[in-house]
Homo-oligomer: A and B are copies of this chain.
Amino acid sequence: MGKASRDSSKAIARLRGVGLRPTRQRVELASLLFKGPDRHVTAENLHEEVAGLGLKISLATVYNTLHQFTHAGLLRQVIVDAARGYFDTNTGDHQHFFLEAEGTLIDIPGEDIRVAGVPAPPAGMTVDRVDVVVRVKRA
């Protein structure tokens, strides 16, 4: 049993675990996304990576899959740029540095950062989550 099939089994198990059919496309994407360390991807940039590896997955499927993974709790979306959407394999409590020039995200552990003094939300509303984006630029 080689490395590729071990990746596949893990990906397949993870997909089954969240009730998604392990199609070739979903398995390949899940392997790429969850094999290594946490990462922040864009649909377009993941699609290019996939193409570069010689895999054939349509851009529509990359979008569909990223959204399905997000709904399944395997990914979360990060909003830092009005032009592009980012997907994050780290679904735990954490925040981000955003390098505007590069378009790069860097995690800040959730325990490091504290947000205090958030007023009560407007009547009838409840806090869904608190996002902190530390925008950084070249010194």
A residues sitting closer than 8 Å to B (CB atoms) are: 77, 79-82, 84-85, 97, 99-100, 106, 108, 112-119, 121-122, 124-139
For residue A101, give the distance in angstroms from its CB to the closest CB of chain B.
9
- Complex Cα–Cα for A92 and B116 (A): 19
Name A's interface SS. Answer: strand
Copies in the complex: 2
* Residue contact A97 to B79, C-beta cutoff 8 Å: no
Return 29 A-B CB contacts under 8 Å, by A number. A79-B79, A79-B81, A82-B82, A82-B84, A82-B85, A97-B121, A97-B122, A99-B122, A108-B118, A112-B118, A114-B114, A115-B116, A115-B132, A121-B136, A122-B136, A124-B139, A125-B136, A125-B139, A127-B134, A127-B136, A128-B135, A128-B136, A128-B137, A129-B135, A130-B134, A131-B132, A131-B133, A131-B135, A133-B133
A115 and B115 in contact, given A130-B133, A133-B130, A134-B127 (Cβ under 8 angstroms):
yes
- Complex Cα–Cα for A99 and B123 (A): 12
Query: Which residues of B lie under 8 Å from residue A99 when comparing CB positions?
Result: 122, 125
